[in-house]
Amino acid sequence: MFTPKYPTPDTAPTPTAPVPAPTADTPATITPATAPVPVAPASNRPVVQLTPGSTLALVGGGTAVVLVVGAVLVSLLLAVAITGVSVAVCAVVLRSLVNNTHKGR
């Protein structure tokens, strides 16, 4: 299944005979080579068709994703803010305790 598939040797192009080089007596004529026009292979992938129902489902799904991601980001920001406020309150309480111990001396 995962082994490469090599083409059979008989599908290789046949070599052509070499063209004789022009001599000094005969002028060399250049003929333009016509390259074959490549043809796009037919795709066997299924074509996606959007109906009004599927479009509505995509819009609803996208809205739900945006709302969920927004709620997660807001909750993370709120957690950081609450942590910052609690650290500030702890610092004020500790400073007050340290100042009270120094005043008593």
What is each CA distance from 58 to 52, 61, 63, 94, in whole angstroms? 10, 5, 9, 54
pTM passes above 0.75: no
Digit-by-digit pLDDT tens for the chain (105 residues) are 688 887 777 766 666 767 666 666 666 566 666 777 777 777 777 777 889 899 999 999 999 999 999 999 999 999 999 999 999 999 999 999 999 888 766
User: Residue 74 in 3-state DSSP?
Assistant: helix
